[in-house]
């Protein structure tokens, strides 16, 4: 298994990591590696620890400008992702929409191979903890529940997915475990035991928090209304150039404006028009990188009559203009 990291222009290979036997071979002692990130990110370092079925990566670096890097990996993994500092957005054809993290947020991500760009937008300190486990490890602990069943189905189909459409806050209890993992000074067999126990407890806290939120949402939203909210999201997905109001969309799915607005935010973690803007911008970015349509055509396809208004919205969302993206590709 291997991971490659390229520069922003996809021409220069910056880092290539070939995973050691300790990541897949039972009984092999853990393996550690640390390297500086100045070659492809800001000044800082990234430290990796591997042992049977588990990879731990901790990064701490200081950006001097908005930065992007392109990743290509053949790993099948579930990632326990903890954003400890900084603002990042991942764009990949493996996922139906961008994955964004602000500081002090976490989520669970399944990826079966991965190609895409990760962008950091601010001149600030970036800190992150990534714990990669094999799907079989997660399946041992995954509880029953609608959200978990959907995630499990994605893994069975080998279709990359995020367990929840929105992130969750890192709790003080989680942070204590995270700091223990980062600063563990044990060695040998006892270090591995310490890390494994902390990872299992950290996963328990993630699943517990997600399950609690999931239960609260689905207890508050009855099955019929839940289906209407999903119908509304499907309409938004399929009609990017339509002219909706909250009221007209609510009428289409058989509810009222207030119930749609409130329920959509509770269920999907964002507003109706925040979600619609997100998928419009992601579709526009995909079309731009494919290079088959010009900006005016793409603007019309995602519902903008004025290409200048589209360009302004695109730059506000991504931090660069459509023309700047086309230059990259």
pLDDT for 28-73, tens place per residue?
A: 667 888 888 776 667 888 899 988 889 999 999 888 777 777 788 8
What single string gives the DSSP state of each residue in 177-222? Answer: HHHHHHT----HHHHHHHHHHHHHHHHHHHHHHHHHHHHHHHHHS-
Residue span(s) of the chain under CATH 2.60.120.280 come to 2-216
At 318, the pLDDT band (50, 70, 90 cuts) reads confident
- pLDDT for residue 10: 46
- 78, 135 contact by CB (below 8 A): yes
Say what percent of the chain tops pLDDT 90.
29
Superfamily, domain 2-216: Regulatory protein AraC (2.60.120.280)
CB neighbours (10 Å) of residue 205? Answer: 16
Q: What is the average pLDDT across 156-163?
A: 90
Q: What is the average pLDDT across 146-156?
A: 85
Candidate from 21-30, 99-108, 262-271 with smallest mean pLDDT: 21-30
Q: Which helix (H) or strand (E) holds 233?
A: helix 223-238
CB neighbours (10 Å) of residue 128? Answer: 19
Residue 29 to residues 2, 25, 59, 78, 187, Cα–Cα distance (Å): 20, 9, 23, 22, 11
At 78, the pLDDT band (50, 70, 90 cuts) reads very high
| Angle at alpha carbon of residue 193, lines to 187 and 197, rounded to 5° | 135
Residue-averaged pLDDT of the chain: 83
Candidate from 10-14, 183-187, 289-293 with smallest mean pLDDT: 10-14
pLDDT for 81-134, tens place per residue?
A: 999 988 888 888 778 778 888 888 999 999 987 788 788 776 678 899 999 999
Q: pTM value?
A: 0.69
Q: How far is CA 46 from the centre of its chain?
A: 19
CB neighbours (10 Å) of residue 59? Answer: 19
CATH number of 223-328: 1.10.10.60
Candidate from 66-80, 89-103, 208-222, 284-298 with smallest mean pLDDT: 208-222
Kindly give, in sequence order, each residue whose CB lies less than 8 Å from that of residue 80, ignoring residues fewer than 6 positions away: 106, 108, 130, 131, 132, 133, 199, 202, 203, 206
pLDDT for 164-175, tens place per residue?
A: 878 888 988 999
Kindly give, in sequence order, each residue whose CB lies less than 8 Å from that of residue 53, ignoring residues fewer than 6 positions away: 23, 24, 133, 134, 136, 137
Question: What's the CA gap between 89 and 289, in Å, rounded?
Answer: 17
- 33, 47 contact by CB (below 8 A): yes
């Amino acid at each position: 298994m291997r991971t490659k990291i390229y520069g922003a222009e996809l021409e220069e290979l910056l880092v290539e990591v070939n995973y050691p036997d300790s990541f897949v071979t039972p009984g092999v002692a853990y393996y550690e590696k640390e390297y500086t990130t100045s070659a492809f990110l800001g000044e800082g370092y990234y430290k990796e620890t591997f042992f049977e079925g588990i990879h731990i990566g901790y990064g701490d670096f200081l950006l001097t400008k908005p930065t992007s890097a392109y990743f290509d990996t053949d790993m099948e993994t579930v990632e326990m992702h903890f954003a400890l500092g900084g603002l990042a957005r991942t764009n990949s054809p493996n996922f139906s929409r961008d994955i964004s993290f602000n500081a002090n947020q976490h989520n669970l991500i399944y990826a079966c191979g991965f190609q895409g760009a990760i962008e950091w937008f601010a001149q600030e300190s970036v800190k992150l903890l990534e714990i990669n486990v094999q799907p079989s490890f997660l399946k041992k602990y995954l509880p029953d529940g609608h959200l978990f069943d959907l995630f499990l189905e994605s893994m069975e189909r080998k279709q990359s997915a995020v367990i929840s459409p929105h992130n969750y806050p890192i709790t003080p209890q989680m942070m204590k475990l995270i700091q223990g993992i980062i600063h563990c000074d044990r060695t040998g067999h006892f270090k591995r035991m310490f890390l494994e126990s902390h990872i299992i407890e950290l996963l328990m806290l993630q699943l517990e928090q997600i399950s609690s939120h999931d239960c609260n949402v689905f207890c508050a939203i009855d099955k019929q209304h839940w289906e209407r909210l999903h119908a509304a999201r499907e309409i938004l997905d399929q009609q990017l150039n339509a002219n909706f109001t909250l009221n007209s969309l609510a009428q289409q799915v058989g509810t009222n404006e207030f119930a749609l607005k409130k329920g959509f935010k509770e269920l999907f973690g964002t507003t109706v028009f925040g979600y619609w803007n997100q998928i419009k911008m992601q579709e526009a970015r995909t079309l731009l990188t494919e290079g088959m349509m010009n900006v005016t055509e793409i603007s019309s396809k995602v519902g903008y009559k004025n290409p200048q208004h589209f360009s302004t919205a695109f730059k506000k969302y991504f931090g660069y203009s459509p023309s700047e993206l086309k230059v990259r590709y």
